[in-house]
């Protein structure tokens, strides 16, 4: 790779993940250029051409492998079941890869991909954008500064109120589709817990199908015991008529409670772009979390903690640096495999009604 020329990116998939997250973030990253978008959907091809007039369009991923020498990175934002075969094909074509989460349906598949990438000397990174959420970055800062003392319990929620299923592969009950909230939103909350508190030793889960017509889990709870002794209580739900706090972190000297979602996804959906926004990822003071002990944040107890700005652009900036040999892989496939170990254990726990040791 030329150290000064932009790295040319082929993006596979232009649904929600490709059009809202990957394409805009790639285009906003110094040193990367969106070269080709792969989608067989004519409407999505028109959408991509309108948003990125200079982009090339392809109907199938094979067109990328045929001109692999013209590309420097493949980004896979297609349905979950295609992640492993497409990542394998890209690596075998000699191309570094970014794969949207979950990288695979099993930890074993993720580790096989990691081995293939290592054998080929190629980058394989997993898009875990929620590591750059505003609230998560703020929790990391509080932990680093010791504001909570020893953390005893970490609560994390991705809850929504969607009483009617929307359909599509994300809500499919077909195991091959790797659908359901456990692998969708669960991939985020588990990854965040492992980043903050280290490896898991035990997992207990409850997974339910609540909505009429739903095919797979839409209301799931995961309890993780970490080697560090911290217990993580993780909730993902499409059936929460009242939303709980996004984070509640309880420690020996203080607790931190934060409501609301990081604003970056909503901004991207609205067509806003990091390069044109003066305060990307910022939120109003009214949404700041609160830090204290013995009070209720609902009634104004605790001290407001300024929320750090969210920073999704940092992920692709790190990918570009890693490709140039100037920094580490921001999210490795081995880290993704560790999260999949927890998700697989959670699925087994919910099915059998037992706690699963890792």
Tell me which residue of 7, 9, 18, 191 sits closest to 100, measured CA to CA: 18
Question: Pairing between strand 124-127 and 97-100?
Answer: parallel
One domain, residues 95 and 155: no
One domain, residues 151 and 273: yes
Say which CATH number the domain at 77 has.
3.40.50.720
* pLDDT given for residue 148 in this prediction: 98
Distances (CA, A) of 6 to 240, 273, 320, 323: 44, 20, 9, 11
* pLDDT given for residue 270 in this prediction: 96
One domain, residues 222 and 101: no
Choose one of 88, 109, 127: the last residue of a domain.
127
What is the model's pTM? 0.96
DSSP 160-188: -B--S---SGGG---GGGT-STTTTHHHH
Tell me which residue of 304, 319, 270, 293 sits closest to 129, measured CA to CA: 319
One domain, residues 116 and 143: no
* pLDDT given for residue 173 in this prediction: 84
Task: Provide the token pair at 243.
Answer: 């939303």
Choose one of 67, 101, 127: the last residue of a domain.
127
One domain, residues 161 and 110: no
Choose one of 95, 127, 159: the last residue of a domain.
127
State the total domains in the chain.
2
Q: How far apart are the first and last CA of the chain?
A: 40
Say which CATH number the domain at 217 has.
3.30.360.10
Task: Provide the token pair at 217.
Answer: 């889990």
299 CB neighbour count, 10 Å cutoff: 7
* pLDDT given for residue 300 in this prediction: 80
Beta-carbon contacts of residue 269 (< 8 Å; ≥ 6 apart): 20
One domain, residues 83 and 181: no
* pLDDT given for residue 48 in this prediction: 98
One domain, residues 81 and 166: no
Q: Report the distance separating Cα 62 and Cα 284, nearest Å.
A: 46
Q: Report the distance separating Cα 24 and Cα 13, nearest Å.
A: 13
Q: H or E element: which one contains 316?
A: helix 313-323
One domain, residues 102 and 114: yes
Beta-carbon contacts of residue 159 (< 8 Å; ≥ 6 apart): 235, 236, 237, 240, 243, 244
Tell me which residue of 86, 97, 75, 84 sits closest to 17, measured CA to CA: 75
Provide the 3-class DSSP secondary structure of residue 233.
strand
One domain, residues 164 and 238: yes
Q: Are the C-beta atoms of 245 and 258 separated by less than 8 Å?
A: yes
180 CB neighbour count, 10 Å cutoff: 25
The ranges of the chain with pLDDT < 50 are none
332 domain-assigned: no
153 domain-assigned: yes
Q: Are the C-beta atoms of 117 and 123 separated by less than 8 Å?
A: yes
When computed from its CA atoms, the radius of gyration of the chain, rounded to whole angstroms, is: 20
326 domain-assigned: no
293 domain-assigned: yes
CA 144 to chain centre: 22
Q: Report the distance separating Cα 317 and Cα 302, nearest Å.
A: 36
Domain span holding position 120: 7-127
State the sign of the Cα–Cα–Cα–Cα dihedral 159, 164, 169, 171: positive
User: Edge-to-edge, what's the strand order for the sheet holding 73-76?
Assistant: 56-58, 32-38, 7-12, 73-76, 97-100, 124-127
């Amino acid at each position: 790779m030329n150290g000064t020329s932009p790295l040319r990116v082929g993006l596979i998939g232009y649904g929600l993940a490709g059009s809202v997250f990957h394409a805009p973030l790639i285009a906003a990253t110094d040193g990367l250029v969106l070269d080709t978008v792969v989608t067989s959907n004519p409407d999505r091809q028109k959408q991509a051409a309108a948003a990125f007039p200079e982009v090339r369009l392809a109907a199938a991923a094979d067109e990328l492998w045929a001109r692999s020498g013209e590309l420097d990175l493949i980004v896979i934002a297609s349905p979950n079941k295609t992640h492993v075969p497409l990542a394998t094909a890209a690596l075998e074509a000699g191309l570094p890869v970014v794969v949207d989460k979950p990288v695979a349906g099993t930890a074993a598949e993720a580790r096989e991909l990691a081995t293939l990438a290592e054998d080929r000397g190629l980058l394989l990174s997993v898009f875990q954008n929620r590591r750059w959420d505003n609230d998560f970055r703020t929790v990391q800062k509080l932990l680093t500064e010791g504001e909570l003392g020893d953390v005893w319990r970490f609560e994390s929620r991705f809850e929504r109120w969607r009483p009617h299923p929307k359909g599509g592969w994300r809500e499919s009950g077909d195991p091959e589709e790797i659908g359901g909230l456990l692998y969708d939103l669960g991939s985020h909350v588990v990854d965040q817990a492992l980043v903050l508190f280290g490896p898991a030793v035990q997992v207990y889960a409850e997974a339910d199908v609540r909505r009429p017509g739903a095919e797979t889990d839409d209301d799931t709870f995961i309890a993780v015991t970490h080697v560090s002794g911290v217990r993580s209580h993780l909730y993902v739900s499409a059936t929460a008529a009242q939303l709980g706090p996004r984070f509640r972190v309880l420690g020996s000297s203080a607790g931190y409670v934060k409501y609301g979602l990081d604003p970056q996804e909503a901004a991207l959906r609205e067509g806003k772009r990091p390069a044109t926004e003066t305060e990307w990822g910022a939120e109003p003071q009214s949404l700041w979390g609160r830090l204290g002990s013995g009070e209720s944040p609902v009634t104004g107890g605790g001290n407001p903690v300024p929320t750090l700005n969210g920073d999704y652009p940092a992920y692709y900036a790190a990918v570009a640096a890693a490709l140039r040999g100037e920094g580490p892989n921001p999210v490795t496939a081995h880290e993704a495999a560790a999260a999949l170990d927890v998700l697989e254990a959670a699925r087994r726990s919910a099915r059998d009604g037992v706690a699963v040791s890792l």
